[in-house]
Amino acid sequence: MADEGYLYLAGFLDEAAVLAAREEILYKFAIVGEIDSVNHPMMDAVLADETYVHEVNAIAFTESLRAGIAYTNVVLAPKLIEFFSGFLGGPARAFDFRWPRFMRTGEFTGIHCDGPYITRGTRNVWSTWIPLGDVPMINGPIMILERSHRLETLRDTYGRRDADRENLGWLSEDPIGLQRSLGGRWLSADFKVGDVLLFGPDLVHSSLDNNSPVRHARLSSDTRYQLASDPPDERYNGADTSNPHGGPRRVFLPGKAAGNNEDFQDEWKLVDKDGRLRRTPAFGRD
Ligand SMILES: O=C(O)CCC(=O)C(=O)O
């Protein structure tokens, strides 16, 4: 971890448990019409032509994704918590909030470090990226900028900022330009069910585009772990984690789902008084 900025634990988690989480989440995306489980096996996560996710209570929908028992069994797997307890040298805990991601074709996550988003409690906090099913590179998994965690200038500038207080956007919109200026290679992999990628708050990362030619959605989870004795980031921990960034109510639903979100900057989407995603004229799949 110190040398490379990440640990890639291939086949670490129980495959059946991860597939159960995939199934649980896909049922919910099928219910809101995001995937076509009528003409295709649900576990293939083939995107449907029309979504009606904007018709439902998105607060309840996204909370049900995070609260699902099979998903919880993956992110709180004793093996994972024990690993972190050993890694951190004391009892570890997961953040109460979790970030399950459903990425449609054409979508990606912009370039950032986690530091500005999750370190109000402690900087000794570690992210875990878990593919919920196989995620080959064509389906747009995470990618990391090699050894970027060692860049002191980045760590001491951007890395010390607070995304909410400073309304921070992506670190860069230009992966090639950023790579030229910071050095290192962009690294990714054909991730398999059971794999886990761990990294710290200073590692530059984003995702590849989901370019699935057969319209497979990409499903994954990012979750955070820390020493139980360290102060928690209050936004994502405690009795109420329903609106971590404060202000008008938003839900974590990355991608284009609410339209007019071409750069996918807005992973947290505004909802109306009924909890429905606020519609824009550009709303829809395309
Ligand atoms: O899954 C992704 O697209 C991005 C994941 C990420 O940004 C993270 O794990 O911090």
The per-residue pLDDT for range 42-77, each reduced to its tens digit, is: 999 999 998 889 899 999 999 999 999 999 999 999
What is the structure's pLDDT at 261? 53
Beta strands in the chain (DSSP E): 6-9, 92-94, 99-103, 125-131, 142-145, 186-187, 196-199, 205-207, 218-227, 250-252, 268-270
C-beta 220 within 6 A of ligand 1: yes
Give the pLDDT mean for 83-109.
96
Q: Predicted confidence band at 280 (pLDDT cuts at 50, 70, 90)?
A: low
CA distance 1 to 181: 23
Distances (CA, A) of 137 to 52, 63, 131, 193, 250: 28, 28, 12, 13, 30
Which pair of structure tokens corresponds to residue 77?
A: 């797997």
Give the pLDDT mean for 5-23.
98
Q: How crowded is residue 238: how many other Cβ atoms within 10 Å of its Cβ? A: 11
Amino acid present at 229: S
C-beta 172 within 6 A of ligand 1: no
Query: 């900087």: which residue's tokens?
Result: 123
C-beta 114 within 6 A of ligand 1: yes
- CATH class in words for 6-270: mainly beta
Average pLDDT, the chain: 93
pLDDT tens digits, one per residue of 139-192: 999 999 999 999 999 999 999 999 888 888 889 989 999 999 999 999 999 999
β-strand partners of 127: 199, 224
Query: 């360290």: which residue's tokens?
Result: 230
Q: How crowded is residue 183: how many other Cβ atoms within 10 Å of its Cβ? A: 13
Given the CA of residue 109, which atom of ligand 1 is nearest to it? 3
CA dihedral 110, 58, 94, 197 (to 10 degrees): -40
Of the candidates 55, 60, 62, the one whose C-alpha atom is nearest the C-alpha of residue 32 is 55
Give the pLDDT mean for 269-281.
82
Is the sign of the CA dihedral 99, 218, 134, 199 positive or negative? negative
C-beta 210 within 6 A of ligand 1: no
